[in-house]
Structure 1
Amino acid sequence: MMRALDERLLIVEPDSRQVARLQKILLDNGFYVIGSCADGEEALQICEQLSPTLILLSDALAEPLVVVELAGQLLRQFNLPVVFLSDTEARGSAAMEALAAGFVSRPVREQDLVRSLRLAARLHRREQQLQAENLALRSSGNGRQQPSIQLSQDASYHLYSGTLLRAGRTIRLTPKEQKFLDLLCRHQGAVVAFEQIFVEVWDCEAGNFQSLRILVHRLRRKLGAQDAIENIFEMGYRLNLMGS
């Protein structure tokens, strides 16, 4: 069978029986599984040595905080999309929501697993393509630096690099926060409908409003301005620029 994806998948799961079942499902659907491991330290070593492009991470690995920290390190150090294998309670974690490229609930259904991994890989490739295009845009224009967008008294955002600066310091954004801020900046002063936000940030037509509210709350704190992102009742969100 031809591979469904040109991806190198690593499974991080402590239950060997679960690993065997996951591997069979993935191999039957054309995925290239480079291996599996049962702890975070080994996962980081494998990423260093074998360069996977996609991670399936079980929340049964350790305490939830440890799993979240590992996912964050995989994202920061290797820029790898992480799909969580989790239960419904784990899906309610704001930290996991921020870091996840996707979720697969237990008990695992083959179609859900395959669909989530394919979607995560496709979105990650799209993000990399957009980053490359943005870099090309920044390099064009005879070397002129692209202007930044002033979001609050001491916070500015560079649209093409996805960099948020506050008081001269770089503030880290999660992938979803960056997508959301990019979307608002591209529609400066206009209301961006909820439907468009869910499609472009979560890649779904109808998303979780609680997750969206959490994302907006985090961004407002990072910007240092509660009124920088305005909720337009039953319509969507609007970016309020300084001086507008």
Structure 2
Amino acid sequence: MPERVLVVDDDPNLLRLVEANLRARGYAVDTAASGEAALERLRAAGYACVLLDLMLPGVDGMTVIREARGFCDVPIVVMSALGEEERKVEALDLGADDYLVKPFGVAELLARVRAAIRRYGVQGRTEGLRAGPLELDPGGGYALVAGRRVRLTPMEYALLRQFVLARGRTLTHEELLDAVWGRGAGEDHYLHVYVGRLRRKLGPSVVIESLPGVGYRLAV
């Protein structure tokens, strides 16, 4: 059964272009031209990935991200003409997984979709990954911290998995970005946002150390 992608944009030409290229690569595609329609589709069906514009009529893209994160963990890749760092950080803070600035090439878009779906698939294939009080649940979707269950988004799970696999080794910014977002896809502030989210969720017993100008390591 083909993986299903939801494309949300109020530009009909872009919708047709993205839909045609995704279908040509074997994806099933649904489209929505408003935030309200996007949320309706997300509540009614399961998707492997969502491509989401921010400047939508009615309910905007930021609101879609915020509301969607209340009921689903589907990877959300923003595709927007708004390229300011503040907008990217805001979207990531709300729960977006990646951010693609318009105009973009079809090859880059498809690479981001593949990477997002691959990260989502990591959940459920992890066994026996443990570091100190931290354990990744083999069923995917959450971690255990000294027995306390912590719900994680696919992106948070994928990033934390890299730290656990490294078992105390320092991971450079480039290593983490390539492993989690895909080669050449992520930016340093992605890590700042997502490491901050992991620290808040996991609590003080799990220490992710920052090495300025170098990277991060999980203290074990």
| Aligned positions of 1:108-123 closer than 5 A | 108-121=104-117, 123=118
CA apart distance, 1:165: 5.0
In structure 1, the residue corresponding to 2:2 is in which secondary structure?
coil
Aligned residues of 1:68 and 1:95 also touching (Cα < 8 A): no
Paired residue for 1:236, among 195, 215, 220? 215
Residues 32 and 133 of structure 1: CA distance in aligned 2, closer, same or farther (over 3 Å): closer
- TM-score using structure 2 length: 0.73
Instruction: Give structure 2 stretches of 5+ with no counterpart.
Output: none
Percent pairwise identity? 28
Residue 159, structure 1, aligned to residue 154, structure 2: no
CA RMSD of superposed structures (Å) = 3.5
Give the structure with higher Rg (CA): 1
Distance 1:233 1:54, change over 3 A: closer
Confirm or deny: 8 A CA contact 2:8 2:53 kept in the other structure: yes
Per-residue CA deviations over 1:131-184 (Å, capped at 9, x if unaligned) read 3332xx46xxxxxxx87732xxxxxx2224463456975333333332232222
Which residue of the partner structure matches residue 96 of structure 2? Answer: 100
Check whether the contact 2:206–2:219 (CA below 8 A) recurs between aligned residues. yes
Change in 2 beyond 3 A, CA 1:164/1:56: same
CA contact (8 A) 1:12 1:57 kept: yes
Give 1:192-231 correspondences, 5 Å limit: 192-204=171-183, 207-225=186-204, 228-231=207-210
Distance (whole Å) between structure 1 residues aligned to residue 101 and residue 184 of structure 2: 20
Q: 1:9–1:31: 8 Å Cα contact kept in structure 2?
A: no
Q: In the superposition, relative to structure 1, how do residues 199 and 64 fare at CA in structure 2: closer, same or farther (>3 Å)?
A: same
On the 8 A contact 1:13/1:58 being kept in 2, the answer is yes
- CA–CA distance in 2 between the matches of 1:187 and 1:225? 20
1:42 aligned partner, one-letter code: A
**In the comparison of the two structures, how many residue pairs are matched?**
214
For 1:221, the aligned partner's letter is: R
**Is 2:141 the partner of 1:174?**
no
Q: Give 3-state SS (helix, strand or coil) of 2:183's partner.
A: coil
User: Are 1:185 and 2:164 an aligned pair?
Assistant: yes
**Aligned pair 1:66/2:63, yes or no?**
yes
Q: Deviations over 1:170-221 (max 9, x none)?
A: 3333333322322222333332333322222222258422222232233333
> Structure 2 CA distance, aligned partners of 1:24 and 1:186?
38
**TM-score when normalising by structure 1:** 0.67
